[in-house]
Amino acid sequence: MAEQHTTGFGKYMSFITNRLLENTVWTFVELGIADIFAAVDKPQTAEELAKKQGWNSEYLYRLLRTVTDADIVREIKSDQTVEPEKTNRFELTEHGRLLTSDHPSKIRYLLCWDGPNKGAKERTQWQYEYLLKQGGFQLKQLHYTETPIAIIEVFPN
């Protein structure tokens, strides 16, 4: 059976949604939310979790809804549709338990180490150097700006 690929606009939108999910999972890990769930070991609402940590419950609810897509937490929906951050409960899944600080896999620490913007400049420079080399150029200098864009100076080999 032939493998199906996303094409056109959907292909590029999938890049954005994958990056969003990656950043959200990283945030979940950095905030130690898996540990908070594991310590209570029962389903919690976003509001209950937020109050204990001094966080915004609406933002936390959005974060939890997003990591639900990665099967890190499971949402237990209530019948009430108004203010779901106060009524819908979340619990860690088996995959979510991998992200606790005491899990033997230590995957949480790998995600923290390789999260967004951690070492990005070094990785970016290495990637630029590699790509330029493939094209017959060498990196002269990489100028970082306040935006995600870098200015590159090159010269031919």
Rounded distance between C-alpha atoms, residue 116 and residue 137, angstroms: 28
| pLDDT tens-place values along the chain, 157 residues long | 556 677 788 888 888 888 888 888 888 988 899 999 999 989 999 999 999 888 888 899 999 999 999 999 999 998 877 888 888 999 999 999 999 988 988 888 777 765 555 544 555 556 556 666 666 676 666 655 554 444 555 556 6
Rounded distance between C-alpha atoms, residue 149 and residue 21, angstroms: 22
Q: What's the pLDDT at 34? A: 95
Return the number of other C-beta atoms located less than 10 Å from residue 157's C-beta: 9
CATH of 8-114 given 3.30.70.100, 1.10.150.20, 3.90.1150.10, 1.10.10.10: 1.10.10.10
Q: What is the pTM of this model?
A: 0.66
Rounded distance between C-alpha atoms, residue 70 and residue 26, angstroms: 12
Q: What's the pLDDT at 148? A: 47
Rounded distance between C-alpha atoms, residue 153 and residue 148, angstroms: 17
User: Looking at the chain, which residues constitute the CATH 1.10.10.10 domain(s)?
Assistant: 8-114
